[in-house]
Amino acid sequence: MSGRAGTSTTAGRTGRRTKATRATRAVRAVRALLVGVALAAGLLTGAPQASAAGPVQVTGFGSNPGNLAMYSYVPAGLPAGKPLVVALHGCTQTAADYYNGSGWAQLADRWGFALVLPQTGAANNALSCFSWFDSSKDTRGRGEALSVKQMVDKAVAAYGSDPSRVYVTGLSAGAGMAADLLADYPDVFAGGSIAAGLPAQCATTQSAAAGCQNGSRNLTPAQWGDKVRASAPGWTGPWPRVAIWQGTSDSTVAPVNATELRDQWTDVWGIGQGAATTRSLPGSTTLSTYNDGTGRPAVQLYSVAGMGHGLPVAPGGGTENCGQTGAYFLNTLCSSYWTGLFWGLDGSGGTPGTGTLPAPTGLAVTATTDSTAALAWNAVPGAASYTVYRAGTPVGTATATAYTDTGLTAGTGYPYTVAAVGPDGTTGAASAAVTATTTGGGSHPVSCWTDNNYQQVAAGRAHQSGGYAYANGSNQNMGLWNLFVTHTLKETAAGYYVLADGGCAA
């Protein structure tokens, strides 16, 4: 049990309080407990009631060994071939609570995808927590994990969802189960989002669950990655793309769990633990992105400064708004919106490669200033437009085969890719990456070096982690640490190096 738990009162207090008051205090205390050493995340009330157009229960989805209920929401007139999102509630919540609070239903209407909301109950766990800590329930082909897989199969058949664009997200205990599902079924889920959750297969027994929740397990990235690889033996990829959300003031799930999740999934992807990019978002949120070998985001870590235990939401009518505030739905920014961008649910191609259009060829840097970078590429037959990505994040669109990015920092290297977008809004494969380095950068004498990654590290201009090389200072991913991958590095300040493959004037 957690050290914060407690339900008893003194005899004197008992005598002075009414039964109703004592019942209220008992309910509040139970919310802080870890029942059966499961996550009792306190995810209780405060979300608005489900609307008349809310989720509906679906039966007959399989043998259901996990004893779960299936609810779904499908926007009116949704055509076949659209994505599917599976959203897992937190402890003591219901599917309707999560439907109302999380913002996923709003985004389903806006962007066009089907939503499945599994629901557990007191028959499975006293506080209706998903059993992320029980290997008889959270592993491939067993228990609750298999029940969710059967729900996906049902939804794909019933709604015509695209089986290559199925995603899973969850909060707290639901996030722990989401992490397990990503490890169990990498052949089912293209991506996942874990909010205030635990690494996949962190605990396999109830007695080990509290240790995962409350502190570090002191495992290496490779040891964390092995837990994923062991969950789906023989699977070699592609692995799901994973978003991790964590409040820095979370006293229910220790923030170190986000670091361990980052270590786990970057190791699975075979990339280092150094972020390719770091940027600030609304709601005091820092986004760290870890790219795969092609420059596409594979893992994203969202750290929300000062936020406690809960799901970040941001009610309102703006483009970036969604969700409703309440107990453990915390008003910072809409995590569901940002996760949806990462997965490419908005149709702008946040995760290129879901369409059939080929990757543009010939991407090149045509000019740079101290604050701009001009790009050009070859046309793709059938393309209606193109999306340009800087470090894996969409920064603009173009109908022609050229684009100029603005507002950049002097003397800095920026990696770019571009993808074609079809008339139906689907995005094709991303191009090979190029790096544009802006001019200027202060009075430090600029020097450039072109060499293989092994020699760049040996010379002290880069470092290696997990078999990949990273530029010192900027921490840009240079690819595999070997003799065969060559880059140009530019020193823009003492000990600060940026990729300058697009040209480097010393």
CA neighbor of 332 nearest in space, from 367, 307, 354: 307
32-66 per-position pLDDT tens digit: 333 333 333 322 222 323 334 689 999 999 999 99
CA neighbor of 222 nearest in space, from 187, 257, 269: 269
pLDDT higher than 70, residue 126: yes
Q: pLDDT: is 23 or 309 the higher one?
A: 309
**Are the beta carbons of 118 and 96 closer than 8 angstroms?**
no
- The span from the CA of 114 to the CA of 81, in Å, is 10
| Phi/psi at 160 (5° precision) | 70, 25
Q: Is the pTM of this model over 0.85?
A: no
pLDDT higher than 80, residue 18: no
Question: For 9-18, 145-154, 199-208, 444-453, which range has the lowest pLDDT when averaged over its residues?
Answer: 9-18
**Are the beta carbons of 170 and 88 closer than 8 angstroms?**
yes
The mean pLDDT of 427-431, rounded to a whole number, is 78
Position 138, amino acid: D
**Residues labelled as active-site residues:** 172
User: What's the confidence (pLDDT) of residue 42?
Assistant: 29
For domain 364-433, the CATH superfamily is Immunoglobulins (2.60.40.10)
* Element of type H or E holding 447: strand 447-452
The mean pLDDT of 455-483, rounded to a whole number, is 81
Cβ neighbours of 362 (radius 10 Å): 12
Buried b vs exposed e over 468-489: b needs ≥16 C-beta within 10 Å?
bbbbbbbbbbbbbbeeebebbb
Segments making up each domain of the chain, as ranges: 35-343, 364-433, 447-499
User: What's the confidence (pLDDT) of residue 149?
Assistant: 98
pLDDT higher than 60, residue 196: yes
User: What's the confidence (pLDDT) of residue 502?
Assistant: 72
165-187 per-position pLDDT tens digit: 999 999 999 999 999 999 999 99
User: What's the confidence (pLDDT) of residue 318?
Assistant: 87
Proportion of the chain above pLDDT 90, given as a percent: 57
pLDDT higher than 90, residue 413: no
| Domains 35-343 and 364-433 equal at CATH topology level | no
133-147 per-position pLDDT tens digit: 999 999 999 999 999
Helices assigned H by DSSP within 282-375: 335-343
Residue tagged 């990235």 (tokens): 221
> Confidence band (pLDDT; 50, 70, 90) for 469?
confident
CATH level 3 topology of 35-343: Rossmann fold (3.40.50)
DSSP string, 35-76: GGGS------S-SPPPPTTS-EEE---S--TT--EEEEE--T
